[in-house]
Structure 1
């Protein structure tokens, strides 16, 4: 469903109770790049990635097409970047009961100062029940970049909110695909490598693969469904080949 015809912002359900909010944004070279946020509708709703501050009107409009924005309980982020948490404080103002949700490092070094309300910090492996959904947090330092990085998975639908992993260029009109996303994401990464290539990267990807995700909720590009464990292992091989 398109929620703003001028920007092309749209919202579509990619798993039970989980909605992708997508806005295509033109780059200086004329190509398009997409910014996604993921809304988990439940007793205590979660928005993962706030989007940049300038996208707040579009993202909040899209949320309102599914549920009242003021019902949000958590605003989650993988790491501290504008597209992850630029609109965080605007959402905290719009949703009086909402709190930031992040890993312990992000809470300690950034969110306790940047956010207008104290964050809820999750430890590695900690689970957070939302109602029908339960989110499990994974510390992923330097995967793909900042030391405060972390990812989460809904244990009910096995949807992994994989942040910047598998970033794809383009406007990503298709919300959910089973086509190849590793190839396009690797081509994009080779043009501007945003991975830290830390010593523990392979081990972290192996740990995520053990969770056997069935849907990968990518921050940039189409979400993907299929054997997520296999795709994560393929990503690990591709990264290791370039070290």
Structure 2
């Protein structure tokens, strides 16, 4: 395996590792590095992938400069390497939402994490970040996304997950069809009455770039893609409700 590096927005880098045997067609595992006065790494990678990701970060900036470590929810591919990063970078701190810290990260992290709040804003120096809690969207009680207001890049975690390899960034491609195909394969989304409204809240941000964890970054009609994804999940929920016994 090797980790590739591409700048997908000004100062926002996609670090991508294809795991060919993860699923039929392979699956990319992406991290995003925000190069700021206080650099942030969003998604920390699985524990065993730490050497690959650390080497990729080192091609952009010395890893010792990383100040903040964050992720979308508590899962091995998002934060398995958390303590490896804390060990390698003495000045780094984990920053995650308060609920996720209370139920998991306060105990799992080798150094106490900082707590984020919903709709809270955080200045990295050159990049202004906003945290948005998305409980159970796509999954995980403690799920969140981060929005880089400076470049209008939505770090959207497992939303729009698709299998296979491809370009680092695409524009004008269909995101919803591949996401629904992956949903049929994994069944990973917690489909509730809150799913579509949460996605429409993200669409209202009008992002210019979607930073997917599994798949290419997207620089097309991001608000439209999020709205279409909301519609697709809303239709699935309605279909399930209709099939349910009275």
TM-score, structure 2 as length reference:
0.93
Paired residue secondary structure (1:204):
helix
**Match of residue 144 from structure 1:** 138
**Match of residue 113 from structure 1:** 107
What is the CA deviation profile of residues 21-56 of structure 1, one whole-angstrom value per residue up to 9, with x for unaligned ones?
Answer: 000002266531110000001100000000000100
Q: CA deviation at 1:183?
A: 1.2
Q: What is the alpha-carbon root mean square deviation over aligned residues?
A: 1.1
Paired residue secondary structure (2:214):
coil
Residue 177 (str. 1) matches residue 170 (str. 2)? yes
**Match of residue 159 from structure 1:** 153
The worse-fitting range, judged by mean Cα deviation, of 175-184 and 60-69 is 175-184
Count of residue correspondences: 236
Alignment gaps of 5+ in structure 1: 1-6
Alignment gaps of 5+ in structure 2: 238-246
Residue 15 (str. 1) matches residue 22 (str. 2)? no
CA contact (8 A) 2:206 2:223 kept: yes
**Match of residue 4 from structure 1:** none
CA contact (8 A) 2:175 2:225 kept: no
Q: CA deviation at 1:84?
A: 0.6
Q: CA deviation at 1:227?
A: 1.9
Between the aligned partners of 2:60 and 2:174, the Cα distance in structure 1 is 29
Equivalent of residue 81 in structure 1, options 63, 69, 75? 75
Paired residue secondary structure (2:236):
coil
Residue 93 (str. 1) matches residue 105 (str. 2)? no
Between the aligned partners of 2:219 and 2:23, the Cα distance in structure 1 is 31
CA distance 1:65–1:29, change in 2 (3 Å)? closer
Residue 43 (str. 1) matches residue 37 (str. 2)? yes
Q: CA deviation at 1:171?
A: 2.1
What is the CA deviation profile of residues 164-218 of structure 1, one whole-angstrom value per residue up to 9, with x for unaligned ones?
Answer: 000110123x111012222111111112210001221121111111110110000
Equivalent of residue 66 in structure 1, options 52, 60, 81? 60
Between the aligned partners of 2:67 and 2:52, the Cα distance in structure 1 is 19
Q: Which runs of at least 4 in structure 1 moved beyond 6 Å after TM superposition? A: none
